[in-house]
Every structure is written in C-alpha cells, then in structure tokens.
Chains A and B, each alone.
Chain A
Amino acid sequence: MELLSEFERLLVTREEPTRTCFVLVLCWLAQCDGHLDDDERELLRNVTAGSGAEIQLEELLGIARRATLGDIQLALEILRESNPSSRKPILQLVISLALVDGHLLTVENHIVRLMADVLGLGLDGLNEAFREMVGHDFPEPDDPSDPAFFERGRGAAGGSTRASDLAALGLEGAPSEDAIKAAYRRLAKVHHPDRFASAGPEAVKTAELQFKRIRAAYERLLGA
C-alpha cells in the first residue's frame, strides 16, 4: 500500500500546490480526447513557464494520463479553495485550452462546465467569461447519443481548417465577410496582450498566443 499516489507525492513536494493542481486539470482536459495537439502543448507550456516552482509539464502530462479519478478530485477540491479574484481568469484559461485546437468536443465542454461549478461561477459566470472571450454564451455540448450528431459529421476526429478557423473566431456555418471582420475586431480587443500586463507574464504570453491564433484564422478566412 502506497501512502501517497504519484500526484499526491508531486503535490506535497511543490511550493505551489494550487498551481500544480490547475496544471494537472489542464493536462487532463488537453488529453481527454486521447491525444495532445501542438497548440495545446504550447499553451500548457506558457502556463507552466511562469511558475516559480518549475512545474515540469512533461511530468504532469504523464501523471494526468495515469491519474485516478481520486487525483483529479483532489486537484478540483484544492482549486475550489483558490482565491475568488483569480477564478474567472482561471476559467478563461481553461476555455482557451478547450478552444485552442479550434473545436469544442463534448467532453471538453463538460469539463469546462465542471470547472465553472468547481470555481463557484456556475452557468452565469461561465457565460459571462465566455462572452468576454468570444462574444456569445457558452454553447450547449454536442450529444453523441443523438444520431443527428453523427449526421452533421461531428463524430469525425478534428474538423476542417475552415471550421476550426471559424470556431477560433466564435463563428460557425457560413458567416459573411462583415461578420468575420466584426468577430475579429471584437476578439482582437479582448485578447490584446496589453490588456493582460497586470495579470502577470504568463497571462501575457497566453494572450499573445491566442491573439496570434485569432489573427492567423482571420487572415486564412479572408484570404480563402
């Protein structure tokens, strides 16, 4: 019988247990579909780079893959006690990670919802945080128990580049050029790195990454 699980062992030897818990939850979210995209890894690297305790991303990714539900629960319980003023930025980072590959899977949607509840923000707080980022309420999750989900082609892994680019701008379907420009202008204001200067270097880095992605998506959509 081990006294401590692998994650608990890591937690008790780190100076920043809350941040370690946060990164573990992010790693769990990033890998919930069974693989880790380059964009997801880059965003995770930005989050861990600002840590004074030198959180080892690869170590936590491995632990997240092997983590028991008990480990995830422990991380969520500790995050529940986090500073109220940091809860919205934490949730927005979670949302950024869920959206970073351009699509929001059913499970990702539910993990974001779970995080909103864990952080005490609820559905209203989640919608508010999402509106600030994308301009509309947090979407309902897809329903794979409904055949219509597969008939829309949602069950296929990933998505088309155009769909991903539209998702990065918070759009779907066939929006007009004006709608794309308006979405870009709104998101460029929200994610401009200058807005995050007071939130610390990692927040600035994350905003820079998000800003670049939005700009790249915008240029591809208008150039296509």
Chain B
Amino acid sequence: MRDLYRALGLASRNVDEPQLRASIERCANAELARRARAVLLDPARRRHYDATLLQLQHIARLRANLGLSSTATWTRTVAASDFDARPDGSPSRFESLKSRLALVGRAAQAAQAPKPEGMGFCGCMFWLAVLILIESAWDSCQRSSHSSGSTSSAPSRASARSPRPSTPQPVFAEPPLAQPRTGQLERGSKSVAPLAITTREGHNGYTVELFLQPHGNLRTERLAREDF
C-alpha cells in the first residue's frame, strides 16, 4: 500500500479537492497520478482509503517505536518510503511505567522512613516538651503513690525510674500507605509495586495509594480496586 498523499508531495491528508486535483496534475508519475485520481477523487473511496491510511500510520509508528520497521511482514506489504515513521525518541512505555512506579515506591519509602534531619528546631523542642511532660507525670505519679500507700522508706529516684521505657513510644506510627481493607496485601517489597501485587484468596480487595510529585507539591493519587 502507498501513502498517496505523501507520494504526491502533500504534507497531510487534510486537503480539499482543488488542492488534490492540482497536486495530481503536477505529478510526473503517470501511474501514481492514475491511482490518486481513481482513489482520492471519489469521496466514498477516499473515506475508506483515509481510514485505512490513518490506521496504517499508527501501525507504522508502533513498529518504529518497537524496532519492528524492517521485518518481512511489513516491508513486503507497504511502500517503505511512504511509511518510514521515526521512533518517538522516548523510552519504552513499559520502562516509563516502571520508572513512574519506582517514583511512587521511593515517595512511599521516603514517607515511611524516619526523618531525623527534618526534625529541626521545632521538632527538637516538641520532643523535649514531651520528655518533660512524661517526667513530670511520672514524678507526680510516684509522689501520689508514696503519700497514699506505703509507709516504708522511699525508694531511690533511680530505682523508681527503672521500669520506665527508655524511649517514648512512637507517636505517629501510622504508615502512610493505605492498608488492605480486608485481608493482607502481599508485596514484593515495602515500596509500591502494583504489577506484582496479589491478594490472598478469599479476600475482597484493597486500596493502594500512589504518590506523585509533579511540581514539588506532593499529590496523592488513590487507586481503588473493585471487589471481586
């Protein structure tokens, strides 16, 4: 098959009939002119031809992007010079999807990881205030128990503190990724890798949160899986 428009030197198929006639008249190739006249100057034939041409141009583009432009299945059936689409130059769509999902994974991991450097002055002051409050509460609790109960000698301050946990319990332990609504979600790693997600049999579904940072502002995109 030939791209008659391109063979006639026209940049696109969006040309009106007078332009088309003029191009055909100028064409030095008698056989090409005959074909173009018989196909493109008949409205019904032109509609059919244009629809087919558009699809073949798409296929030519796909072949170019997939590195399949020079196979026998293609070159023996079309005029290669008319359908020599160039690859888009972008990475493969699968690689692009994987890199976007990796971005999601990194964002999810970053959101889960502790951020000591991000604590700053305000964070330090917050935790200092928490420690002071805990210590005050502990002391008042001890004083209260001593005054109301035992008459024995007061225990030392160090021994009174010994059962206290050495570090405060995490305050913000909620993981940033949504958990399965029911059942358990099996992931290959902690990051979101939706292509590998499976659910255990008998569970009805789950939600996954995807994160995107298009312009510096973290945006959350939520994917909800339908129950099945």
By a beta-carbon cutoff of 8 Å, the part of chain A in contact with chain B is 1-4, 8-9, 11-13, 15, 17, 32, 34, 53-54, 69-74, 76-78, 80, 106-107, 109-111, 113-114, 116-118, 122-123, 126, 140-141, 143-147, 150, 155
Contacts and interface: CB of A to CB of B under 8 A. Distances in A.
Interface in B36-76: 38-39, 42, 44-45, 48-49, 51-53, 55-56, 58-59, 61-63, 65-66, 68, 71-74, 76
Interface residues of B, number: 52
Main secondary structure of the interface of B (DSSP, over half): helix
B152 to A, nearest CB: 65
B154 interface: no
B173 to A, nearest CB: 27
B108 interface: no
Contacts of A2: 221
B158 interface: no
Interface stretch (B123-131, B135-143, B208-216): B208-216
Interface in B173-212: 194-195, 197-199, 208, 210, 212
Contacts of A114: 59, 62-63, 68, 73-74
A51 to B, nearest CB: 10
Given A3-B221, A110-B56, A73 B39 contact: no
Contacts of A70: 93
Contacts of B198: 15
Contacts of B76: 123, 140
Given A11-B97, A106-B56, 17 more contacts: A3-B104, A3-B210, A12-B194, A12-B208, A69-B61, A74-B94, A76-B62, A114-B62, A114-B63, A118-B66, A123-B72, A144-B52, A145-B1, A145-B3, A147-B34, A147-B38, A150-B39
Given A76-B66, A114-B68, A147 B35 contact: yes
A144 B39 contact: yes
A32 B55 contact: yes
Contacts of A140: 76-77
A195 B14 CA distance: 51
A25 to B, nearest CB: 11
A110 B60 CA distance: 10
B73 A113 contact: yes
